[in-house]
Amino acid sequence: MGRQEQASRKPTKRSTPMSTLHVSLGFAKLTDTELDQFATDVIDGLTGNAAFPTPAPSLASLGTATTNFTTALAAMAQGGTQATAAKNAARETLLGLLRQEANYVQGAANNVMAAILSSGFEVASTDHTSVPLETPSILKILNEASTQLVLRVTPITNAKAYETRYFTTPGVWQAGGISTQARRIIVEGLTPGTTYTLSVRAIGGSTGHSDWSDPVSHMSM
């Protein structure tokens, strides 16, 4: 081979492989109340979700396990060793089904983050570098008790917490508190019959926090 032909050859540029997204199994560390809500959110997220047409285990099985856990959790509040043991057994059954469901979601999502998040599961962080956070969105605001509102927002990868603010007079924001759970952010001390406009941002990342979400209004009961 001549020198000229050798010189004309350029080194082949290797493409950087795309990192594989993994469904977080961190739900196993949730409190009983948080796990109960998480399982409900997963069922809601998978119901009618075109990205996951054949959940495995079935949503019926997951729903039964969730109901059994909810019932056992309520019974445990009455006290007793047997009630606690029954709750623990129901929790382990539910966790086992959620782990199987997480494995199904990871395979069916085809490495698409939006698909994973739409299922109700979260994405495990594989990148520990500090990067700007995406802006969360308020998915739902619930009236579960008087003088408080419960927000559900999109979980943001690498977020450490979520900060809430609200106003009744346009532009006059008040602090609504900080929560570590995207699916259950409680804003307390509200006045029944008053409409509040709320916004949320994620905490963490290289900038310290994300941008504030688009505001959503809701009446406190």
Strand partners, 150: 142, 186
For residue 16, pLDDT beyond 50: no
Residues with Cβ within 8 Å of 12's Cβ and at least 6 positions away in sequence, in order, are none
Q: Provide the phi-psi class of 189: left if phi over 0, else alpha when psi is between -120 and 50, else beta.
A: left
Residue 55 backbone class (left: φ over 0; alpha: ψ -120 to 50; beta: rest):
beta
Task: Give the residue-averaged pLDDT of 7-16.
Answer: 47
Say how far residue 137 (Cα) sits from the centre of its chain. 12
Q: What are phi and psi of 17, to 5 degrees?
A: -65, 145
When pLDDT is cut at 50, 70 and 90, the band that residue 9 belongs to is low
The C-alpha torsion from 46 through 50 and 51 to 52, rounded to 10°, is: 50
State pLDDT tens for residues 141-174. 999 999 999 999 999 888 888 999 999 999 899 9
Q: Where does the pLDDT of residue 129 fall: very low under 50, low under 70, confident under 90, or very high at 90 and above?
A: low
Q: What is the pTM of this model?
A: 0.61
Query: What is the tens place of the pLDDT at every residue in 57-78?
Result: 999 999 999 999 999 999 998 8
Residue % of the chain over a pLDDT of 70: 88
Contacts of 168 (CB under 8 A, 6+ apart): 194, 195, 196, 197
